[in-house]
Amino acid sequence: MADVNASQTSPVPADPRSLRAHLFDLDGVITPTAEIHMRAWAEMFEGFLASRGIAEPYTDADYFAHVDGKPRYDGVRTFLASRGIELPEGDAEDPSDQAPGEETVAGLGNRKNDQVLEMIRTAGVEPYPGTVAYLDSLPATARLAVVSSSKNAEEVLRGAGLRERFEFVVDGNVAHAEGLPGKPAPDTFVHAAQLLGCTIEESVVYEDAVAGVRAGAAGGFALVVGVDRGVGHETLREAGASLVVSDLSELVDGAGAQA
């Protein structure tokens, strides 16, 4: 884990745009692909549980508690543990169409990823208008990066027409190559700030997932903005968000933010 100071001793900035570095999660903050991921997780886990004759259903609560914001295989492993199920780890090359009873953690994760990619290619990707408005409102001197657990972040950003807005994308591929633990560890955010040549004290994190908010809080960043796409304002505050909004457009004129 990165060597960072988790304490925030300086005052919380009144306007996140006053900070130098802006570190955005992707799914649920920039694009509504969190909804696609949520549906893909549900389809994959529902099919898996049904194949094993397990009556207890997979629910949205399971998504937010065990999967949201985490690296793909971590999400599989955490949910299975919540049901007392252990599977072999497998590896990244495991096929997604494993037969019932032969599944691995990696194979299930790959199955979910195949479903996500199919949904994205079929329906396309449109960014949140409020996020685009917020990006437009940032000063020309702002330094921007995307920090995502997804390994498809580059493809999604290009599909949304936003890749050129960000200097760096620290995604699941970069985390794997650099040996960085995923969220809720702060390391991927810290790495992005370092790539931008900025300190954590001059950086703001934007996150919609509990795991991501916890990562930002653990990293000691100047500000952690929680974007509530369904988790709940209070849940994000309890996870460590400095302020919570329902959409980043609320920060363009300063209205609606809740400290």
Residues noted as catalytic: 25, 27
- Quote the DSSP letter at residue 44: H
- Distance CA(22)–CA(192), nearest Å, equals 9
- Cα dihedral sign for 229, 230, 234, 236? negative
User: ∠ at Cα 152 (109, 1), nearest 5°?
Assistant: 75
- Distance CA(174)–CA(170), nearest Å, equals 6
Residues 98, 101, 102, 108, Cα dihedral to 10°: 50
Q: Where are the beta strands (DSSP E) in the chain?
A: 21-24, 143-147, 168-170, 203-207, 223-227, 243-245
> Omega before 129 cis (within 30°)?
no
